[in-house]
Amino acid sequence: MEDVKIVADDLYFIQQPIRTGWFCGITVVLGADKIGLVDTGFENTPVDYIFPLIKKLGRKPESIDYVVNTHRDGDHVLGNKAIKEKTKAQIAIHKLEAEAVVTADVKLIDGNVVELGDRKFKVIHSPGHRPGSICLYDQANRTLITGDSVCGERTDLIRMDKAIYIRSLKKLLDLDIGILVMSHPFKPLGKSIVVGNDIKEMIVASIGIAENLK
């Protein structure tokens, strides 16, 4: 499937096209017995993208047991309804976003640990794009999933005081990250899956861009 990138043996990234050069990303985490998701995309995303991928991998969509929404925006949560109709998965989101997402079952706070597949992710509250925006950090595998928390040149997505956004990004610089997964192909790098020195470059560039905002 050309819209799917393999991040690791158990980590798949679905790129649902929105327009030329832009897509919505959903992360699928495969465990031995269970499957986790980070975000669910639009209303059609589960049926058109998530379920077909899981079936192609020889698994059943019903194995999805836990979903984390990185924030409330429609391209990240509208697929929740289809997930609930097909599976018994619990859906989690930061407590500051929960009121806007009626499909959410679990309210998260900074420092919580969630299990997706066979991985454990620490919840990192990273406001700036949204008050309840979060990142998910898998320290064991040095993997950080950021949703829209790091948005590069898309300064229109900084919906809070820029100082709050910058503070969140500086917190991420303290983490040991080997793989960075963003929901969209944010510039200046123009890609979602970032490794090596490009990780710090992307975060630092995003900080610099925000600092120059008037």
Residue 191 in this model has a pLDDT that exceeds 90:
yes
Give me the half-sphere count of Cα atoms (radius 13 Å) on the Cβ side of residue 102.
Answer: 1
The arithmetic mean of pLDDT across residues 39-61, rounded, is: 97
Question: What's the number of domains the chain is made of?
Answer: 1
Query: What pLDDT score does 42 carry?
Result: 98
DSSP 124-182: EE-TTSSTT-EEEEETTTTEEEEETS--TT-GGG--S-HHHHHHHHHHHTTS--SEEEE
Domain containing 165 equals: 4-211
The arithmetic mean of pLDDT across residues 26-55, rounded, is: 98
Q: What angle do CA 155, 12, 24 make, to 5 degrees?
A: 30
Question: pLDDT, tens digit, for every residue of 102-159?
Answer: 999 999 999 999 999 999 999 999 999 999 999 999 999 999 999 999 999 999 999 9
Query: What pLDDT score does 93 carry?
Result: 98
Query: What pLDDT score does 163 carry?
Result: 98
Question: Domain of 149: which CATH number?
Answer: 3.60.15.10
Give percent above pLDDT 90 in the chain: 98
Query: What pLDDT score does 45 carry?
Result: 97
Question: pLDDT, tens digit, for every residue of 67-87?
Answer: 999 999 999 999 999 999 999
Q: Which residues contact 33 (CB under 8 A, 6 or more apart)?
A: 63
Q: What angle do CA 121, 186, 64 make, to 5 degrees?
A: 35
What is the residue-averaged pLDDT of the chain?
A: 97
Query: What pLDDT score does 214 carry?
Result: 83
Residue 101 in this model has a pLDDT that exceeds 80:
yes
Question: pLDDT, tens digit, for every residue of 171-184?
Answer: 999 999 999 999 99
pLDDT class for 1, splitting at 50, 70, 90? low
As given in the structure block, the two tokens for residue 21 are 């050069």
